[in-house]
């Protein structure tokens, strides 16, 4: 967007300078008396100044409106981001509570006793050792 503003400013400057130079050249080359030419130059310069002022006022008004729109959009986006952050915080809180409940349930749950296996009595085997 800043490139467009720079391009517009360059165009406007070139347009104004070109118009001024063209007007002065046309007046100087016109077959009129010096007094008539000076009056005509004065009138044209006043007219050009008025056009420039009105163009600048219009550009300033558009820039102000764009700034107001940008601020409104930024505020809207900030509110939306805040709402989403709050949603995520609430979801995180729910997940945290669920995990806490599972953990407490696992911790407070009595340990399962292994099933009693029937043990066979062990008979001691005698080891024979060879002595040399």
Give 40's pLDDT tier (boundaries 50, 70, 90). Answer: confident
Tell whether 50 is covered by a domain.
yes
- C-alpha 81 chain-centroid distance: 11
Tell whether 63 is covered by a domain.
yes
Does residue 49 or residue 82 have the better pLDDT? 82
| Structure confidence at residue 4 (pLDDT) | 62
Tell whether 17 is covered by a domain.
yes
Contact between 40 and 27 under an 8 Å Cβ cutoff? The reply is yes
- Residues for the chain: how many in total? 132
Tell whether 129 is covered by a domain.
no
Tell whether 115 is covered by a domain.
no
**Most distant CA pair in the chain, distance:** 149
Tell whether 113 is covered by a domain.
no
| Structure confidence at residue 38 (pLDDT) | 81
Q: What is the mean pLDDT of the chain?
A: 81
Tell whether 20 is covered by a domain.
yes
Tell whether 86 is covered by a domain.
yes
Q: Into how many domains does the chain fold?
A: 1
pLDDT, average across residues 119-126: 58
In this structure, what is the dihedral angle of CA atoms 44, 48, 51, 56, given to the nearest 10 degrees? -170
**Residues of the domain holding 75:** 9-107
User: Residue 125: is its pLDDT beyond 90?
Assistant: no
Give 35's pLDDT tier (boundaries 50, 70, 90). Answer: confident
């Amino acid at each position: 967007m800043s490139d467009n503003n720079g391009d517009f400013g360059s165009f406007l400057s070139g347009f104004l300078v070109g118009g001024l130079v063209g007007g002065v050249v046309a007046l100087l080359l016109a077959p009129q008396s010096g007094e008539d030419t000076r009056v005509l130059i004065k009138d044209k310069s006043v007219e050009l100044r008025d056009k420039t002022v009105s163009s600048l006022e219009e550009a300033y008004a558009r820039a102000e409106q764009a700034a107001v729109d940008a601020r409104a959009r930024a505020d809207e986006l900030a509110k939306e981001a805040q709402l989403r952050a709050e949603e995520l915080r609430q979801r995180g809180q729910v997940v945290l509570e669920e995990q806490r409940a599972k953990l407490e349930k696992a911790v407070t749950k009595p340990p399962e006793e292994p099933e009693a296996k029937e043990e066979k009595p062990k008979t001691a085997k005698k080891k024979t050792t060879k002595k040399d």
